[in-house]
Amino acid sequence: MTIGVLFVDDDQNFLEGLRRSLAKYRNEWRIEVAVGVERAFDVLEKRKVDIIVADQDMPGQSGDYLLEAVGVRWPSTVRVTLSGRSKSEIASRLISKAHYILTKPCKSEEIAQYVTRVAERSKELKNDFVRAAVTRYTTPILPNSTKRSLREGRMDTDLITGAGLLQIAVSHLSSDENNSAPTVTDAMMRLAVEQLIQINDDVKIGSYSNTQVQRLWDETIEIAETAKAMGAAAGLTEQPARSLEVAAAFCNIGSIALADQFPDLYQNQIGELDTPERWEAENKYFGATGLMVGAYLLGIWGFSDAVIEEVINQNVTLSTMAGHDVNERVLSAARDREWPKPIEIENIESGDRSPSNEGVSAQ
C-alpha cells in the first residue's frame, strides 16, 4: 500500500530539500509538497492524503488553521505540526488539532520513522469509516467523572488522569525522540493539566455517562496497578519498568475509542464481555480489535515501537508466551490479574511450562 504524505511550508527550498532527503521512500510513499495553505487545500481536494505535515509558522493562515480544517473535512488524515518554536510554546494551540509535533530543525529520518510507524499501523485498520472515526482523537478519551474533575480544578489521583497527562507530556511536550519513557517535569505536568482543562471546557458534559468507557478505564487502572507490582517483583530495570507502566496505562485505549465513538453498538453487541471474547466481538462488528485500534492511536500520538508492541501483544497466553518480550508477558499476565506469578514468566523463558507455587504474588 502506497501512503500519501503532504508536506506544507512557505519555503519552497525547504520543501524541495525535504523531498530529496526522503527520495529513498518514493516506492513506499507518494510525496506531495505545497507552498502555503491554499495550495495544500488544492492538493487535498484532488488526491487522498494519509498524513499531512504542516509548518505552524507560515505567514497569513497558520498551520493550526490548516490542520483544524483538515480534521473536519478529511478526518482520516493524520495531522502533524512542524515548528521552529518549542513544543511548550505552541502545544496549547495545537493540542486538539495535531496528533504530533515535530520540532525544527528536524532530521528527515525522524519524519520517516514516524510516517513508517503510522503506515504500518494503518494497514491493520482496513475499515475506512472506523479509521476516520478514531483518528479524530488527538488526546485520550477520558470519562465524564475525570472531565468534571478537571473542569472544577481537581486532580484525580488515579491512572485515568495520569494516563491523559502522560500522553500529552510525551507526544506534545517531550523533546526526547526515541526514549519510550522520557522524563516528565513538573512544568510539563502543569501545562498538560491546563491543556486538558482547555480541551474539556469545550466538551458538553450532560447527564449521559458512557458506562463502557468508564468500565474499560476502571479495568485499565486495575491492570496497570497489577502490572507495576509484577514488574517490580520480576526485577525489571528502570527503563523497561517505565515502558511497561506507559503500555499498561494505555492497554485498553483502542477499546475505549470504539466504545466512545460507537456507544450504542458497543453496549448492545459487546457490553460486559471480557478478553479475549471482547476482542473477537470487536473484530466482528468493527473489522478491527481494540488492540489494533490502540496500536494505531499510540502510533499517531508518537509513542515508541516498544510501547506499541507491548499493547498489541497483550493477548499472548501461557502457551504462546515463549519468544515474546518479558514486558509483553507481564502485561498479558497482569490482564488476567491472577496468573502467572513473575516466577512463572521466567519459567516460560527457561522452557519449564509447569505452573509454579513459589512465585512472588503480584498483589
The three cell numbers locating residue 138: 488527538
Task: Please name the residues in contact with 45: beta carbons below 8 A apart, sequence gap of 6 or more.
Answer: none
| The pLDDT value given to residue 323 | 63
Interhelix angle 305-312/108-122, nearest 10 degrees: 10
What's the pLDDT at 88? 59
Give the confidence band of 34 by pLDDT, cuts at 50, 70, 90. very high
Q: State residue 96's pLDDT score.
A: 78
Share the mean pLDDT of the chain.
78
Task: Tell whether the model's pLDDT for residue 75 goes beyond 60.
Answer: yes
Q: Are 174 and 184 in contact (CB under 8 A)?
A: yes
pLDDT at 208 over 90: no
Instruction: Determine the pLDDT at residue 267.
Output: 93
Tell me which of 210 and 8 has the higher pLDDT: 8
Using only C-alpha atoms, the chain has a radius of gyration, in whole angstroms, of 21
* Mean pLDDT value across residues 26-48: 93
Domains of the chain and any CATH numbers: 3-123 (3.40.50.2300), 144-350 (1.10.3210.10)
Average the pLDDT over 103-109 and give the result.
84
pLDDT at 176: 43
Least confident of 198-202, 281-285, 351-355: 351-355
Please name which of 165, 160, 148, 164 lies closest in space to residue 215, comparing C-alpha atoms. Answer: 160
- Res 181: pLDDT: 44
pLDDT-derived band of residue 79, with 50, 70 and 90 as boundaries?
very high
The percentage of the chain sitting over the pLDDT mark of 70, rounded to a whole number, equals 69
| Tens digit of each residue's pLDDT (9 = 90 or more) over 158-179 | 544 555 555 544 454 444 444 4
Looking at 95-237, list the stretches that DSSP marks H as alpha helix, in order from N- to C-terminal side. 108-122, 128-135, 144-151, 159-168, 186-201, 211-233
Residue 128 has pLDDT above 70, yes or no: yes
Determine the residue type at 141: I
Strand partners, 81: 54, 101
Q: Residue 60 above 50 pLDDT?
A: yes
Which residue did the predictor score with more confidence, 351 or 111?
Answer: 111
Asked if 159 and 220 touch (Cβ cutoff 8 Å), the reply is yes
